[in-house]
Amino acid sequence: MKEYATLSLETHLFFGRIMKEHSLFLLAGFPAKETEFIRCADYFRKEFEEGLRRTVKLADGIVSKSVLNSGEVVTEFTGKAECQTKNLTGIPIDMRITEAEERLHAGNCGMVNRETICQVRMLNQQMLRSLDGLISFKEEILREVTGCRLYTTNYPLLIEHILREAKLYRQMILELEQKGRITAPDLRNLEIFWNQIMMEHAQFIRGLLDPTECKLMETADNFAEDYCRLLEEAREQDRKAMNALTARTLQTTKKYQQFKTAGTEGITDCEIRSIILPLLADHVLREANHYLRILEHAQKGRD
């Protein structure tokens, strides 16, 4: 059951934080009159913050070094980005969670016992309940926004984007609960999913930059086009002919990760004009780091 516990906690460390921040971004985007939507978004922010807090307490000495070193849990900018976002929005953020994540140690087989498994199982059930609610909430927001009954500063595409990520997270936890492990996903489908996520990040970044940031806008446009091409090729590619495409995707994602790192540093240092929350910049950087780990693991498996 060590694999079950390890994969569950690694999944929550990444996706639990992502869901917490989705809730915060939704909350920050509603006008003051939408009191019920604001209340619901804040409820889910608190739910996933509590879930992440429980995850961090269980994860020490269990999760792998590759996950902790990947930059998908926290980056060098996360603490600063949280502090700035808290000050800019007035939305509470428990930064002690980030501090605890920075202190996490990698796995030790002896740490997983029957009590740990029981606690992980309860955590998985809690996260599933929260995810069911958050998915329904995101779907409601999307219906209201596209029906012109609700205003938010978040793009409709961004709401669809974060809905897809929540459904992937839910699918992974359900599989862990049903099988005790996560089946190795088809790399082609995985690349299709994450290439679309990366493409949309570039589109969002471009749309949230100040019009004076011409060079950054051009670079974001270029990355959007790169991932659009990779996405189309992955959809057309035979599963047996994915090696070369995965290698190209890996190289593109390494460059993109560097662009996002520079962008996060520029936004947290107030050197880039934009309406991008500092925590959103760090958020998309962590997702690129996560995807890089997946691609690098796939390449090693083929070598």
Following DSSP, what letter does each residue of 94-152 receive, concatenated?
Answer: -THHHHHHHT-----GGG--HHHHHHHHHHHHHHHHHHHHHHHHHHHHHHHHHTTS---
CATH code of the domain occupying 1-63+104-183 = 1.20.1260.120
Rounded to an integer, what distance in angstroms lies between the CA atom of residue 61 and that of residue 77? 24
C-alpha neighbours within 13 Å on the C-beta side of residue 131: 26
Q: DSSP for 67-84, please give it.
A: HHTTTSS--TTHHHHHHH
Please choose, from the candidates 36, 54, 57, the residue with its C-alpha nearest in 3D space to the C-alpha of residue 46.
Answer: 54
Strand partners, 274: 209
pLDDT by 10s per residue, the chain, length 303: 889 999 999 999 999 999 999 999 999 999 999 999 999 999 999 999 999 999 999 999 999 999 999 999 999 999 999 999 999 999 999 999 999 999 999 986 557 899 999 999 999 999 999 999 999 999 999 999 999 999 999 999 999 999 999 999 999 999 999 998 887 667 788 999 999 999 999 999 999 999 999 999 999 999 999 999 999 998 887 766 677 899 999 999 999 999 999 999 999 999 999 999 999 999 999 999 999 999 998 877 655
Where are the domains positioned within the chain? 1-63+104-183, 185-303
Domain 185-303: homologous superfamily in CATH: Protein of unknown function DUF2935 (1.20.1260.120)
Of 111, 116, 124, 108, nearest to 179 by C-alpha is 124
Q: Do domains 1-63+104-183 and 185-303 have the same CATH topology?
A: yes
Pick from 259, 256, 255, 251: which is nearest to 299 by CA? 251
Say if CB 152 and CB 166 are below 8 A apart: no
pTM of this structure: 0.96
| pLDDT of amino acid 239 | 62
